[in-house]
Structure 1
Amino acid sequence: MESFVIDARDLDVAEPSSVLTAARAEYGPRLAPRKIIQTYDPDEWEIFIEEWATGLVPTYARVQRFGGSGDRGVDVAGFKTDRGFEGDWDCFQGKHYDKSLTPSVAWPEMLKVFLLPIRNGLYRLPERYCFIAPRGLGTALAHLVSTPTELRTKFLEQVESSETKPFKELDQATRDAVHALASVTDFSMFGSIEVLALLDQHALTPYSAARFGGGLPNRPVAEDPPSQVLINEQVYVRKLVDAYQERYSVVDSIPTAQAHEKAGAHFKRQRESFFRAEALRNFARDSVPLNTFEGLQNELYDAVVETAEAEHSDGLERLRHTLEQAVNAQLSANALIQVTEPADRRGICHQLANDDRLTWVSDQ
């Protein structure tokens, strides 16, 4: 069977809001991925196709799901420009059946895509139209897709003489327009994405662990912080300086903190931790569903807030106890715990301080 397979170069997507748990990421459902996708209903299958799209590079300008009644034969569209259907785009048509796709299933779907520009002149035909089905294409359809000229001939026969829906419902003017457009269209635009390629590409997305388990990928090594404090560090760094000043009155700025005998080394470690946490945030963006990292921040905040708000001798002592509590907190629900180290937890506390959720000198 020789149908063309997309080679991981294309899309973007709406993302679920649920937080991925550690158990779900590690073990997933107790079925092989190929079996899992066979259990989906049509709506879940379209969502899965959306998720798969995020593993393709480069991304489309926009990806949109239109599944359901009134989708006009477009389950998921990958728009290559901000002009949507008026510009270049690709069509991904999900068919979740309990058997392989046949030509009789394909003909009505192919007709719909030709009707788009005929019934609305602003629409353009897609550059690529792919059937995506958990059991793939049947032998007859696979051979047709692999021979675009024959596929066009067989489709034109349907337009000319088919007595089945929706062809028999076409008025003569529409039938002639479809025939004319299809006659000059390169039918190599039609193809399929095979299940193994689909699953391999989905494995590159942030949604794979949530659906299939297997744990998270290895984290890349975090970079050292730059020598100069960046704009996005200003809030938590100012709070560190306030804590140092409360303990060591001579420290009243970043340079004096960096030069101080005791504060200097401490300040350096805190920035390293902050950048570790920022690297974890970036890793989460590419490896787990949306809001998973924010879920970890919230879980850690709940673990340390009582310590941070308790009475302490000064701000530096408050910071020390809070960071200690963060490192020792028993966190287990979030998937990112698998790849989180003590420095990440300390850095998340500084992220929370940066967001004004934690502070070290109580009167500031």
Structure 2
Amino acid sequence: MEAIDARDLRLPNEGIALSAHRAEHGPRLAPRKVIQTYDPDEWEIFIEEWAHGLVPQYARVQRFGGAGDRGVDVAGFRTAKGFEGEWDCFQGKHYDKSLTPSVAWPEMLKVFLLPVLNPIYTLPRSYSFIAPHGVATSLGHLISTPTELKKKFLEQLTTSQAKSFRELNEDTRAAVITQAENTDFSIFGSVEVIALIQQHSLTPFHAARFGGGLPNRPVADPPPDEMSSSEMGYIRKLVDAYQERFKSVDSIAAVETHEWSGRHFRRQRESFFRAEALRNFARDSVPPSTFEKLQNELHDAVIETAEAPHPDGLERLRQTLDQAVNAQLSSNALIQVTEPADRRGICHQLSNDDRLTWVTHE
């Protein structure tokens, strides 16, 4: 597999970070080949990402892989009650061949042991095996015939010499048998690799792993006529800049009726809402914090201009916005879909957050 670009550093709990290069080109292998190169930990992270894209969405998705996971690699909780409410279990097995029944039996035992050993747990609403090479024909046939799957599992409880079955004490074994006999084994299933990759493509993490570019960005809505409290930070700073230049333009109402300031102000609001739309697009299309990284990169690109001496605040604003538009930004994936108005709007977001200001009182 192609070595990961040095710019594609992992974000904690977020899988692979996303650079512009990786979003466009991705690794050179086909997606189903890429996932075969993952180690078990990366495979669980991939499954966690995939679960975030399922519809309807879960109240919470959590990864438990590793020692002490109790047979649950990733759980999709349908309610805030977690294991005490409805939940789905996703069991990842990253082997170099298809999963067989001998691999499945001990994993199924673990999930039955959950409520047996601690009644606070409920059995999952569904339990899915997920493996890069899928399930073997023998296991696939059993999963497709839940009655036969139950029969074979119950046989394992009394005949298997596998360590996990052999070490059950008689009380626990009896409780598991009772639990299994009263369970509809259609809860057990598997996720095919093609469906896995297609569903993963609906998550913000897909371009980081497989490239192919970002989805088309929707057209941004125009700013609402009524200004909200969430805009007031950057708007007040704009009014300060207009007033420093034009003196009489000392309120939003005065700005809106002033010939030059009014036109300029409307463009700035349009840019701000373009940037807000970009933020929303990023939330659904790229890994978490990608948009915030773009804001930080743009801040770094303009801060020297913003803090340099200027005749007045309006000139500081104008030159900072020009610097934002012309700044050479290349590492962030969102650059592919970012236009000049977005960059100006990000400056107003930074102003809204008190990271940029136009009128200084030295």
Which band: TM-score by shorter chain? over 0.9
The amino acid of 1:211's aligned partner reads R
Tell me the equivalent position of 1:66.
Answer: 64
CA 1:41 to 1:88, structure 2 compared with 1: closer, same or farther past 3 Å?
same
User: Aligned residue for 1:153?
Assistant: 151
Residue 153 of structure 2: SS of its match in structure 1? helix
Query: Which string of whole-angstrom CA distances, capped at 9 and with x for unpartnered residues, describes residues 52-103 of structure 1?
Result: 0111122211111110111111000111111111111110000000000000
The CA distance in 2 between the partners of 1:70 and 1:306, in whole Å, is: 51
Aligned match for 1:54, one of 52, 55, 67: 52
Question: Is 1:126 the counterpart of 2:120 in the alignment?
Answer: no
- The residue aligned with 1:30 is 28
TM-score by length of 1: 0.95
2:233 paired residue number: 235
Residue 190 of structure 2: aligned partner: 192
Q: Which of 281, 284, 292 is the equivalent residue of 1:283?
A: 281
Q: Which residue of 2 aligns with 1:136?
A: 134
2:52–2:58: 8 Å Cα contact kept in structure 1?
Answer: no
List aligned pairs for 1:45-124, cutoff 5 A. Answer: 45-124=43-122
**Which amino acid is the alignment partner of residue 48 of structure 2?**
E
Residue by residue over 1:314-343, the C-alpha shift from the partner in whole angstroms, topping out at 9 and shown as x without a partner, is 111111111111111111111100000000
In structure 2, relative to structure 1, the CA distance for the partners of 1:15 and 1:267 (3 Å cut) is farther
Unaligned runs of 5+ in 1: 1-13
Q: Does 1:208 align with 2:217?
A: no
1:250 aligns with 248
CA distance in 2 between partners of 1:43 and 1:17 (Å): 10
Q: Does 1:21 align with 2:19?
A: yes
Number of residues of Structure 1 aligned to a counterpart in Structure 2: 351
Segments of 4+ in structure 1 off by > 6 A? none
The 3 A distance-change label for structure 1 pair 37 and 47 is same
Q: Which amino acid aligns with 2:147?
A: T
Task: Please tell me the residue identity of whatever aligns with 2:192.
Answer: E
Per-residue Cα deviation, 1:2-44 (whole angstroms, up to 9, x for no partner)? xxxxxxxxxxxx9528752101111111111000000001000
Of 263-272 and 174-183, the range deviating more from structure 2: 174-183
State the SS of the aligned residue for 1:74. Answer: coil
CA distance in 2, matches of 1:20, 1:246: 42
- Distance in 1, Cα, partners of 2:133 & 2:18: 28
Aligned mates of 1:294, 1:172 — CA distance in 2: 56
Distance 1:19 1:354, change over 3 A: farther
8 A contact 1:94–1:133 mirrored in 2: yes
CA change 1:195–1:69 in 2 (3 A) is: same
Length-normalised TM-score, structure 2: 0.95
Alignment pair present for 1:44 and 2:29: no
Classify 1:33/1:19 alpha carbon distance in 2 versus 1 (closer, same or farther; 3 Å): closer
What residue is the counterpart of 1:327 in the other structure? 325
**Secondary structure of residue in 2 paired with 1:330:** coil
SS of aligned partner of 1:262 = helix
Which residue is 2:4 aligned to?
none
Which runs of 5 or more residues in structure 2 are unaligned?
Answer: 1-11
* Residue in structure 2 matching 1:355, options 350, 353, 360: 353
Q: CA RMSD in A?
A: 1.2
Identity percentage over the alignment? 73
- Greater displacement, 142-151 / 52-61: 52-61
Structure of higher RCO (CA pairs closer than 8 Å, 6+ residues apart): 1
Q: CA offsets, 1:131-187, max 9 Å, x none?
A: 000000100000000000000000000012212221111111111111111011000
Q: 1:233 to 1:23 in 2, by over 3 A?
A: same
Secondary structure of the structure 2 residue equivalent to 1:166 = helix
Distance 1:303 1:141 in 2: 57
Residues 294 and 312 (structure 1), Cα distance of their counterparts in 2 relative to 1, 3 Å cut: same
Q: Is the Cα–Cα contact under 8 Å of residues 15 and 45 in structure 2 kept in the other structure? A: no
Contact 2:16–2:208 (CA<8 Å) still a contact in 1?
Answer: no
Q: C-alpha separation between the residues in 2 aligned to 1:163 and 1:344? A: 64
**Amino acid of the residue matched to residue 76 of structure 2?**
G
Measure, in 1, the Cα distance between the counterparts of 2:86 and 2:51: 17
Return closer, same or farther for 1:36/1:264 CA change in 2, 3 Å cut-off.
same
